[in-house]
A and B are shown apart, each in its own frame.
Chain A
Amino acid sequence: MKILVAVKRVVDYAVKVRVRPDGRGVETANVKMSMNPFCEIAVEEALRLREAGVAAEVVAATVGPAQSADTLRTALAMGADRAVHVLHDPDPARPLLPLAVAKILRAVALQEKPGLVILGKQAIDDDCNQTGQMLAGLLKWPQGTFASKVTLDTEKQKATVEREVDGGIETICLDLPAVITTDLRLNQPRYATLPNIMKAKSKVIKKVAAEDLGVDIRSDMEVIEVNEPPKRKAGVILSCVDELLDKLKNEARVL
């Protein structure tokens, strides 16, 4: 079985984003970019399934500008076998929406014919949490979102997924092929070792233009403005618990 993993290049999670003065987006020039943390977990899970012997090949895919190849190199260095890069240059006023990404990934999935597609639960830049669900809908495959444990039964062609829901952990069983999105608890991603980073340079990244996939990339969402959230007024540092209780009772009136 083949596993397809979608990865995304985002502003590094430790970066404090700054909104551009013109209100058209956030600063991305000269800002550290990395693989989306949830996508790292997706790559790690695909590799673990391969190491457990239930998958034969791991293919990493991304949609984005030329620099997104760096993210694919990271996935290859972690151990993915090869990669597909769908080239698309972004327009800040008309962002590439999850629906368009899902359509592109659908085209890639129909070409690659994976038994399982794994994506991160959400990208930490747009915080959409949509792409995996949309991909599953377009393919008419079952979905296991927010997964914290995945067990594959290749004989029965089923995946058992434990998922994180508001009230606890829910267990579902999916017929393969299926789409899974990863939550934080699924695993701890490995670091790429230097020898693997070197080996990754010779692995194949197939480049595809988005237009060649015959996918309609219209954007139904127009970004009107991006601004900073309202600032909280500065707080005070108190000296003892009595003072805290007094403030909460008499000033803030929440006790």
Chain B
Amino acid sequence: MAAMLVGALRRGSGCRGGLRLIAHSLRRFVSTLVVAEHEGGFVKPSSLSALAAAEAIAKDNKVSVLLGGSGPALHKAADHAACSHPLVSEVLVADSEALAHPLAEPWAELLRSVQQKGGYSHVIASSTSFGKNLLPRAAALLDVSPVTDVTAVKEPHVFVRPIYAGNALCTVKYTGEGPCMMSIRSTSFSPATEAMSETKVAPITQVDLSFLSEGKSTWVNLTSQDTERPDLANAPVVVTGGRGLKSAENFKLLEQLAEKLGAAVGATRAAVDAGYVPNDLQVGQTGKIVAPDLYMAFGVSGAIQHLAGMRDSKVIVAVNKDADAPIFQVADYGLVADLFEVLDELLKKIPEKK
């Protein structure tokens, strides 16, 4: 269906009136390509949020999920994607060693090829480092302007996104003729939790990859922190430390508290710059955006750039010795006290996680 429309669009390209008419009719047909990430044979939670965003665009959206990579984990993830959401009508699998790592160059070519064949009205990725790396490059190849970090969908082409570190919300309308490409903020779209009907499994299709060209970049390695803590972006409880912790040794107190609460550990830029924790724990405009049920900030002053990453948390607790710290303006519960005394007391009084 979409392919027929795209063909008609091409035939009509010589006639301006026809082009306008066909483009208008193409706009009515909502279909979405979700670029999904997977790990260990499962679609990542951030990509499940992208599926929820696709549903927000249109209740009768027809969603194709694109997975790339190689090996058994890819095909296991494809099986997961096929039954991950009722709107999924197709899973596209791109099996190639060139896509085994998240290099933007081959991935953007893949995305362009799939879009040109599928003629989707929307292309959605999550605002992960992978999505932010890939989507603008693919959009440039398709000559369209993408929308970054969408937090709400008002109409199929009207979106809300934060600007100025979340201190302003901008409602934009996409008026282009090409596909509407967007990255979505995972914390703004909750993945569907209703049990999937076992009978609803989408077909899985292999993507023809003959277009892939010789790469100008090579992947070398990934250095990651081994941790048993939950993923910062998805944890229901986040415990964050700032400059006030004063040393990496003291951050272990925070990790003990996180252990008790089943929480993830976050940090401010000052704590990362000082070397207390690695940079992937940073919360803020530059780091991760989180919206947990409970966000506890210890020794955090509450700079604009940090608030950008956690202001949407349901309950915010702040512990700071400075009563004038900006963090208290957004905190639901504040304690003006020495954070080490508070941490000691919390560690004593909170029971071990069941």
Contacts and interface: CB of A to CB of B under 8 A. Distances in A.
A254 B279 contact: no
Nearest to A20: B168
| Interface-centre pick from A129, A228, A247 (highest chain B CB count, 10 A) | A129
Interface string B216-232: 11111111110000000
Contacts, number: 249
A160 B221 CA distance: 11
Contacts of A97: 145
B235 to A, nearest CB: 12
A169 B223 contact: yes
Nearest to A131: B136
Given A19-B168, A221-B147, A229 B162 contact: yes
B315 A238 contact: no
Given A168-B280, A169-B222, A254-B314, A237 B328 contact: yes
B45 to A, nearest CB: 12
B269 A248 contact: no
Contact of B139 (A124, A134, A166): A134
Interface stretch (A51-59, A67-75, A141-149): A141-149
Contacts of A248: 294, 315, 317, 333
A232 B280 contact: no
A225 B171 contact: yes
Interface string B167-196: 111111111111000000000000000000
The bracket for how many chain B residues form the interface is: 35 or more
A237 B288 contact: no
A22 interface: no
B168 A172 contact: no
Contacts of A138: 140
A66 interface: no
Interface residues on A, range: 35 or more
Given A124-B165, A220-B175, A235 B217 contact: no
30 contacts: A98-B145, A124-B165, A127-B148, A127-B164, A129-B136, A130-B146, A133-B133, A135-B140, A136-B137, A137-B138, A138-B140, A142-B217, A145-B104, A165-B129, A166-B280, A167-B224, A169-B223, A170-B102, A172-B217, A184-B273, A185-B272, A221-B145, A221-B172, A222-B175, A224-B172, A226-B168, A229-B311, A235-B331, A235-B334, A254-B314
Interface of B: 102-105, 108, 128-130, 132-141, 143-149, 158, 161-178, 215-225, 233, 237, 261, 269, 272-273, 278-280, 285-286, 288, 293-294, 304-305, 311, 314-317, 323, 328, 330-336, 342, 345-346, 349-350
